[in-house]
Amino acid sequence: MNANSRSYGLENCHDQNYFYESIQIDVVQSGNYALTGSSGEKLSGHLYVKHFDSHNPSERLYLQNQGDCSEKKFKIIAYLQSNISYILIMSRHRSLMLTGHIDIEILVSGVNNVTLNRIREFYT
């Protein structure tokens, strides 16, 4: 994630200035999974079903981390179904992006393997 990342507003943080990265998650076997993201910086996580619309972030929101917007990690425990794509949105406040990019570690544990793919959108 860096200062060129896309941005949107987080409803639960009452602010419109968040950069985000999106990861598509595909599940082989339905079951309970834990999604954990960590960084040396403040980080928030939200899980969406099928797609994420940055202009309407409450649409298709499945779950979000239970912490506040000032923690350096998030954890989402969810029942995920096979054959449904989920979108994990990891976000960080715009004012904290002055240092360049940050590295984020994602750990997924559950009943089977999952596929993670970074979603890249290009604008012209």
| Overall pTM > 0.95 | no
Residue 69 lies in a domain: yes
Please provide the average confidence, as pLDDT, over all residues in the chain: 79
The contacts of residue 19 (CB under 8 Å, 6+ apart) are 1, 2, 3, 5, 6, 7, 91, 92, 93, 94, 97
Residue 120 lies in a domain: no
Q: How many domains does the chain have?
A: 1
Q: What is the CATH number of the domain that holds 67?
A: 2.60.120.1050
What are the distances in angstroms from CA 96 to CA 7, 22, 23, 108?
Answer: 13, 18, 21, 26
Q: What are phi and psi of 96, to 5 degrees?
A: -90, 0
When pLDDT is averaged across residues 96-110 and rounded to a whole number, the result is 75
Residue 118 lies in a domain: no
Task: Dump pLDDT digits (tens) for 1-60.
Answer: 444 445 444 454 545 567 788 999 999 999 999 999 888 777 888 999 999 988 888 899
Residue 55 lies in a domain: yes
Residue 122 lies in a domain: no
Instruction: Print the domain residue range for 47.
Output: 6-113
Task: Dump pLDDT digits (tens) for 65-86.
Answer: 866 566 778 899 999 999 999 9
Residue 123 lies in a domain: no
